[in-house]
Chain A
Amino acid sequence: MFNRTAIAPLEYTRKLWMRSWVGLTMLFLYAPLVVLMIFSFNDSKRNVMWKGFTLKYYEKALNNDSLVEAMVNSLTIAFLATVISLVIGALAAVMLWRFRFPFKGLVEGTMSLPIIVPEICLGVAFLIFFAKLDWPTDLAWPLNLSAITIAHITFCFPFVAMVVRARLASFNREEEEAAKDLGATEWQAFRDVLLPHIKPSLVAGALLAFTLSLDDFVITFFTSGPDTITFPVKVYSMVRFSVTPEVNAASTILIILTVALTFIALKYQGVKGIAETH
């Protein structure tokens, strides 16, 4: 115990006060989630006292047709919104990076508006917009999700554009010129040189868009029709009566799903690649 080396100035992780601070932060951030997950296994109707382990609320949640439908709706919307935001966002970023055109600053500012405008305003705006358009609400699945999906794309794609734009700033344009110099067409240069460079930012942008869409409540609440309940809206309506372990179980499934997705994305792209994006 006497051969411990002295703590160097930058070895913060070996200092007690630093460790306890990190520990407290973690506790503050994750304790509610852990409690939520633990009580999803609680054999009691109420979420107050631990009455023993059970999986019956998972069974109940999975047999709750409207809950499952809401979950499927949410995932579908998130998937569509992500794919479309990715395309629009990446193209917008490339446009802003590549070209000079009149009112460029205005376009850039307007584009990030959905990030700045309070969600509640966007929600009301969409409500009025779709009502004025007389947007049909009685379409077959998944077309009945179109209004929500459009709304989600609106606030998701600026995030993708921002992340991709940041990544583009570090692109060496000589690489693109080199590709063309070697005979590549505009499209081949984009596919072979620019796209690989922005790939990490596309993964990061997709993750952002997916999670933003999946857990959005406010805007969805205003744009959903009577038959298009998403998961957060459904949970909200369930909680209005009482917080049963069924809600916990459903939430736990959602958490595991998003964590798994993030994990796969990071694994596929490498944490480093995504971290370098910013």
Chain B
Amino acid sequence: MNEGKQPIIEIRNVSKRFGKVTAVDNISLDIRAGEFFVLLGPSGCGKTTLLRMIAGFEMPTEGQIIIDGQDMSLVPPNKRPVNMVFQSYAVFPHMNVTDNVGYGLRISGISKAETRDRVAEALELVKLSGFEDRMPDQMSGGQRQRVALARSLVMRPKVLLLDEPLSALDAKLRAQMQFELADLQDKVGITFVTVTHDQDEALSMASRVAVINKGEVAQLAPPSDLYEYPANRFVADFVGSVNIFEGTLTLDEPDKAAVDCPGLGKIYLNHGVTGPHGANVWIALRPEKIYLHVPGEGKAVRAAAQDAPDGHNLARGTIKGMSYLGDVTLYDIQLEGGHIIRVSRPNLSRHDQEDFTWDDKVSMHWRADSPVVLLS
């Protein structure tokens, strides 16, 4: 975890209660200088409250927030070395783009010449050159967001906070802005802290993600770890789509483990789990990591699952649902035990989805390194 970089933000045992409701429950985490940090969680999990506490709009009930080595407990928002891009963008409607972007510099007494240069530079950065005299009501949502971005970046903050920056944009624009934000962060080198409920957004932009659930950090990890090595059922389920089966740990050695899942079958893993023998565990299996076969290809299936002992990592079922998404097709397959498992299959050729259809009997297998054992 620690790469020797000094954390720019240290959150120390921070809790926030509104009356009887605990929005943030004893969270501690470090945000490193220059990283793109994402707070990910469902609505109402406390992620926005945490962001607002960093910005200074909410005061922690307990704990402290340290920004760049300085305790922020008594520092009001207008004195903090952070700037925020609000969910509604909060562009001042009665000011044109230049005045909006230059507002912070103007009130802090920066000279007119410098303000002009820095505003021009910031507008260039967010690709809004030529819009200087536009009023906000003459701009699209995406353009207004760029104004809000420029308005914050022009202050050269140590940390830029973004509250659900992409939630109001349409799908195409969102995908484009994801890349642009990451690119921008790379260019300016400022630490970005973003709040989002959208896992795609988090996975595509973040250097590290803190998954927040009910006011607590469920897992803090880089995006790929979060997806491939979720720490618990909440993270596995919230990030991406997943099949979860309950089971019992029957074998646990340094280089192999086995779980007996009544719903799915015998699971074999090519690594140890370090859980108590006979413990109640959960198996998480991503839909895209399951291979589908026509039942007749029994030999091929066995050959494919050869990294596990006979009878492990195999399942049979009947296709009960299908949804064609263009690039992939999702299958809901009823297992012999009655449970439903979801499998996604890339459409590598135009007619792939015709191979399997409703009520077909199918076989499945997965590799021994695909299932994840979850202890909670």
Contacts and interface: CB of A to CB of B under 8 A. Distances in A.
B107 A188 contact: yes
Contacts of B91: 175
A174 B86 contact: yes
A37 to B, nearest CB: 39
A138 interface: no
A172 B86 CA distance: 11
Given A177-B57, A188-B107, A183 B90 contact: no
A195 B57 CA distance: 21
Contacts of A96: none
A182 B107 CA distance: 9
Contacts of A179: 92, 103
A183 B87 contact: no
B104 A177 contact: no
Interface residues of B, number: 25
B55 interface: yes
A181 B88 contact: no
Contacts of B93: 175, 197
A172 B91 CA distance: 10
B83 A182 contact: yes
A182 B86 contact: no
Contact of B84 (A181, A192, A193): A181
B249 to A, nearest CB: 50
Contacts of B376: none
Interface residues of A, number: 17
A180 B77 contact: yes
Interface in B141-170: 148, 151-152, 155
Contact of A178 (B76, B86, B108): B86
B78 interface: yes
Contacts of A177: 55, 57, 77, 84, 86, 90
A178 B94 contact: no
The 8 closest A-B pairs by CB, nearest first: A182-B104, A174-B90, A178-B90, A174-B86, A196-B94, A175-B90, A180-B77, A180-B78
18 contacts: A174-B86, A175-B90, A175-B92, A177-B57, A178-B92, A178-B148, A178-B151, A180-B76, A180-B77, A181-B152, A182-B103, A182-B151, A182-B155, A184-B103, A185-B78, A192-B92, A192-B107, A197-B94
Interface of B: 55, 57, 76-79, 82-84, 86-88, 90-94, 103-104, 107-108, 148, 151-152, 155
